Copies of this chain bind each other. A is one copy, B any other.
Amino acid sequence: MKKNAVYAQSGGVTAVINASAAGVIDACRQNSAQIGTLYAGENGIVGILNEELIDTSLEPQSVIDGLRYTPSGAFGSCRYKLKSLEQNRREYERLIEVFKAYDIGYFFYNGGNDSADTCLKVSQIAAELGYPIKAIHIPKTIDNDLVVTDNCPGFGSVAKYIATSTREAGYDVESMRKTSTKVFILEVMGRNAGWIAAASGVASESVEQPPHIILFPEVVFDEDCFIQKVKQVVDSYGYCVIVVSEGIKDRYGMALSASQHTVDDFGHQLLGGVAPVIAGIIKKRLGYKYHWAVADYLQRSARHIAASVDVEQAYALGFRGVEMALAGANAVMPYIKRVSQNPYRWEIGQVELHKVANHEKFMPRDFISEDGFHITDQCREYIIPLITGEDYPPYKNGLPAYVRVNKQHLPKKLAEFVL
Q: Do B178 and A70 have beta carbons less than 8 Å apart?
A: no
**Chain A 103-122 interface residues, beta-carbon cutoff 8 Å to B:** none
Contact of A296 among B9, B292, B384 (CB under 8 A): B292
Q: Do B264 and A180 have beta carbons less than 8 Å apart?
A: yes
Knowing A72-B174, A175-B76 are in contact, say whether A298-B168 is a contact too (CB < 8 A): yes
A13 cross-chain contacts in B, Cβ below 8 A: 172, 175-176
Knowing A168-B304, A176-B73, A304-B164 are in contact, say whether A293-B294 is a contact too (CB < 8 A): yes
Q: Do B388 and A390 have beta carbons less than 8 Å apart?
A: no
A302 cross-chain contacts in B, Cβ below 8 A: 165, 168
Q: Chain B residue with minimal CB distance to A299? A: B293
Q: Do A167 and B74 have beta carbons less than 8 Å apart?
A: no
Q: Chain B residue with minimal CB distance to A180? A: B79
Q: What's the number of copies of this chain in the assembled complex? A: 2
Flag the segment in A219-227, A331-339, A394-402 that touches B: A394-402
A278: interface (CB < 8 Å): no
A79 to chain B, nearest CB (A): 4
Q: Do A164 and B76 have beta carbons less than 8 Å apart?
A: no
**Chain A 233-272 interface residues, beta-carbon cutoff 8 Å to B:** 258, 264-265, 272
Knowing A72-B175, A294-B292 are in contact, say whether A169-B301 is a contact too (CB < 8 A): yes
Q: Chain B residue with minimal CB distance to A162? A: B298
A43 to B177: give the CA distance in the assembly, Å. 9
A132: interface (CB < 8 Å): no
Q: Chain B residue with minimal CB distance to A168? A: B301
A76 to chain B, nearest CB (A): 5
Q: Do B384 and A178 have beta carbons less than 8 Å apart?
A: no
A362 to chain B, nearest CB (A): 23
A12 to chain B, nearest CB (A): 7
Q: Do A387 and B399 have beta carbons less than 8 Å apart?
A: yes
Q: Can you show 26 pairs from A to B with CB atoms below 8 A apart?
A: A12-B176, A13-B172, A46-B179, A70-B171, A71-B172, A72-B171, A75-B175, A76-B176, A78-B176, A78-B179, A164-B399, A167-B399, A167-B400, A168-B298, A168-B301, A168-B400, A186-B298, A202-B397, A258-B276, A295-B298, A304-B305, A386-B398, A387-B397, A387-B398, A390-B392, A390-B395
Interface residues of A (CB under 8 A from B): 9, 12-13, 15, 42-44, 46, 70-80, 160, 163-165, 167-169, 171-180, 184, 186, 202-203, 258, 264-265, 272-273, 275-276, 291-298, 300-305, 307, 384, 386-390, 392, 395, 397-400, 402
